[in-house]
Amino acid sequence: MIECINNNQGFMMVVLTAVYVIATIAICLFNYKSAQATREQVAESARQFEETNRAFVTVYADFIRNGLFVLCVSNSGNKPAKEINVNIGEEYFKNIKQEFLPNVEKFVKSNFMLGIEQKFYLTLGGLLDYEKLSNESMFLELAYQDDKRKYSERIEIRLKEIAWSLNYTSPITDIQHDIKKQRENVEKLSDNLEKIRRKIEDCVNSR
């Protein structure tokens, strides 16, 4: 057998070299795939980090303070939002009362900032104005940025779809009404006491 190997040393070297080359190629392929998988994992982790560490501005319609109909601009992200602009299509302006239009026009031209969990309100009308305001959908163009990226989106608000919320009765509202009635009763009592005090003074002074 040794003699056979000695007689075929050239062939054996070729076989060993081929095995070595194949093994080297296999290792390189494995390392390439591992590196590629690592890069993809790092890229995905970076993407998830960016998605969870950013400003996130939303615009929606709401009713506040017992019947004011407003647009709410809110930042629910974990970074401040800068250069916020909300453009309301001018074709919708005809549905807004004249008394509210100046603020709406200022709003669409402004660029403002929202801190983390901060929100601003734009008043569009009251409960009595809702029917006209909900005649058609409101289309908005939202643009803003944080310290890393710029964001933009088109938003459609279908006001008729939140009409059911007008039927909601808040216990806070009931408490407010009770407090108002109590305040009125206290004011009446105060007026009556003041009248009694004046009558007593008049009686004393007349003696």
pLDDT tens by residue, 160-204 = 777 666 654 555 555 566 677 777 878 888 888 888 877 777 776
How far is residue 77's CA from residue 168's CA, in Å, rounded to a whole number? 29
- DSSP letter, residue 89: P
How far is residue 95's CA from residue 111's CA, in Å, rounded to a whole number? 24
The set of residues, in sequence order, having a beta carbon less than 8 Å from that of 141 and lying 6+ positions away, is 85, 86, 87, 152, 154, 155
Structure tokens at 68: 């004011």
How far is residue 171's CA from residue 163's CA, in Å, rounded to a whole number? 19
Question: Mean pLDDT for the chain?
Answer: 79
pLDDT at residue 1 is higher than 80 = no
pLDDT at residue 77 is higher than 70 = yes
Compare 163 and 118 and report the one with higher pLDDT: 118
Going by C-alpha positions, the residue among 50, 56, 52 that lies closest to residue 116 is 56
pLDDT at residue 55 is higher than 50 = yes
**pTM score > 0.85 for this model?**
no
- What confidence score (pLDDT) does residue 130 get? 81
- What confidence score (pLDDT) does residue 22 get? 78
Q: What percent of the chain has pLDDT over 90?
A: 32
Compare 19 and 89 and report the one with higher pLDDT: 89
Mean pLDDT, range 59-75, rounded to an integer: 86
- What confidence score (pLDDT) does residue 58 get? 94
- What confidence score (pLDDT) does residue 68 get? 82
How far is residue 69's CA from residue 129's CA, in Å, rounded to a whole number? 8
CA distances from 102 to 60, 85, 131 (A): 20, 16, 21
pLDDT in tens, 2-48: 555 455 556 566 666 767 767 777 777 777 776 676 677 766 666 66
123 forms bridges with which residues in the sheet? 70
Whole-angstrom Cα Rg for the chain: 37
How far is residue 80's CA from residue 74's CA, in Å, rounded to a whole number? 11
Spell out the alpha helix ranges (H) of the chain: 2-7, 9-52, 101-109, 130-133, 171-206
Residue whose entry in the numeric block shows the structure tokens 């194949």: 22
- What confidence score (pLDDT) does residue 73 get? 95
